[in-house]
Structure 1
């Protein structure tokens, strides 16, 4: 319905209001609330008109919604495409660029991994030595793991 309140929530609010305030006080409460909302609207409308009068005739088309940053950007940058932003946006294919970057990163990772494995094989490391990725040969039963001073 409005304010993300569904029909079930609205019925629940009405029932709670009847239970809390009672059926005899509820009509007066609704009248007072509607009168307060009406006065707030009149106050805000008069404040808007006063601001428009003070700004002068050059701001005759001024809308208060334009003060919202999203609306301001949409109205001044996206609708008035004097800078050619739509052409730039359409020429950029972010998915293709991201796929190219991902492929390049994967290729670099494969190259680094291959080079590290070549070094590990060429070095013919001693028992228990780690390769470039920190993996070790499995320990034999009863063998103690190596001491790592950085881990403590």
Structure 2
């Protein structure tokens, strides 16, 4: 339900309100709450109408579910950004033999491993900020 309120919790709040406020003032408070909810509903209806008028026909074309911030998973966004490695251009050797003209493309991990300088045995590997 709304704000985690269940029927049991709402019933308990109503009973406590009836005991605290008292039977003499309870109808007046209930009427005030109903009036406040009616004004709030009218305000929201007017705001929706104003937005629809200002946006024009674009208001109906918007898929509001795509704009829901709960759908964004930062882990997925970062994972996709890290996996989007730029393609490594293939180097074509100059050869008269057409069969030898096709060179295999090395995987990205192999190219990165070749680019790292050799380290002395017994020293820890350098900190990799991209791995975190």
State TM-score, norm by structure 1.
Answer: 0.39
State TM-score, norm by structure 2.
Answer: 0.43
Higher Rg of the two aligned structures:
1
**Higher relative contact order by CA 8 Å / sep ≥ 6: 1 or 2?**
2
> Which structure has more helix as a fraction of its residues?
1
